[in-house]
Amino acid sequence: MGRRDEDGIDDARADSRGYGDGWDELRRATLRRDGYACTRCGADDRTLQAHHVVPRGAGGPDELENLLTLCRPCHGVIHQSNRSFDDVRDEAPLFPNREAPEAVARMRTPDDQWCSRCGHEFEPSDLVAWNDVPPATESTSVADTEYDHLTLCEPCAGLLLECLPACHLDSLSSNHGLSTAALADRRQEAPVRSSVFASPPVSVRREPRSVRERVIDDTPIRFLTNHRGIRLATGTVALYLAVMIVLTAI
């Protein structure tokens, strides 16, 4: 077997994948430009690799502008389906650095990018992780389930801080500054009801504050208005009926 380099690619594999003699120098130039640190998490004490922003299989060139330095665990975060990273992916931080380039500014797994309470997708800078989540109680259908962490949007995090004694500022983390006051200011933005798929520890209801919230957001009617797909289908049906009424009148 050929020599294995810092990218975990031996010489024979590098040749078979089309990496030429200039690859080693290009990889070194990438690491040098990025200060010999991972552009996702900032680590400078791990094996560093050159990552293609546009994959080579999709036509991405072997050029400095298309390469970013990643440590091996963070490289695994970007390549979720590549099983060769399975042994190190969990070593990557949950959050990317705030200043990480957009191409690699991802949470550790795709599911982490969704709020565990409301079910909406957010950028990492808008998410908070609730660590040391207590197990589900016997009153839930998944008693004794343990959670490494749950991710929350800031409004939902503010609501949990107010409602759940087990959730406190010291148990929250993010890639930006957190304060109880700032999160509390946003708690009223959280949906009245949690998603039907919400994890039991965060299935907390917020008291409605308006007629609309009481009539729609706190009742099953919300499924007809709060889901994008259902709103689109309802609008299409309404438009169809309106057109038929007009044609019938003519």
What are the pLDDT digits (tens) for 85-117?
Answer: 999 999 999 999 999 999 999 999 999 999 999
Residue 95 sits in the same domain as residue 142: no
**Is 5 inside any structural domain?**
no
Residue 234 sits in the same domain as residue 202: no
Instruction: Report the percentage of the chain scoring pLDDT > 70.
Output: 84
Which residue would you say has higher pLDDT here, 137 or 200?
Answer: 200
Residue 97 sits in the same domain as residue 117: no
Work out the pLDDT band at 10, boundaries 50, 70, 90: very low
Residue 78 sits in the same domain as residue 119: no
Residue 148 sits in the same domain as residue 78: no
**Is 214 inside any structural domain?**
no
- Which pLDDT score is estimated for 18? 56
Residue 48: helix, strand or coil by DSSP? strand
**Is 3 inside any structural domain?**
no
**Is 87 inside any structural domain?**
yes
What are the pLDDT digits (tens) for 148-169?
Answer: 899 999 999 999 999 999 999 9
Residue 116 sits in the same domain as residue 148: yes
**Is 2 inside any structural domain?**
no
Please count the structural domains in the chain.
3
Q: What is the mean pLDDT of residues 219-247?
A: 73
What are the pLDDT digits (tens) for 16-50?
Answer: 355 767 899 999 999 999 999 999 999 999 999 99
Q: Could you tell me the two tokens for 149?
A: 């962490």
**Is 163 inside any structural domain?**
yes
Model-level pTM?
Answer: 0.78
Residue 119 sits in the same domain as residue 202: yes
What are the pLDDT digits (tens) for 72-89?
Answer: 999 999 999 999 999 999
- Which pLDDT score is estimated for 15? 39
**Is 129 inside any structural domain?**
yes
Tell me the residue range of the domain where 96 lies. 11-104
Name the amino acid, one letter, at 35.
G
What are the pLDDT digits (tens) for 174-187?
Answer: 999 999 999 999 99
Residue 239 sits in the same domain as residue 164: no
What are the angstrom distances between the C-alpha of 98 and each of 5, 42, 43, 125, 210?
30, 10, 14, 7, 36
**63, 85, 104 — which closes off a domain?**
104
Residue 30 sits in the same domain as residue 53: yes
Q: Count other Cβ atoms within 10 Å, centred on residue 193.
A: 22
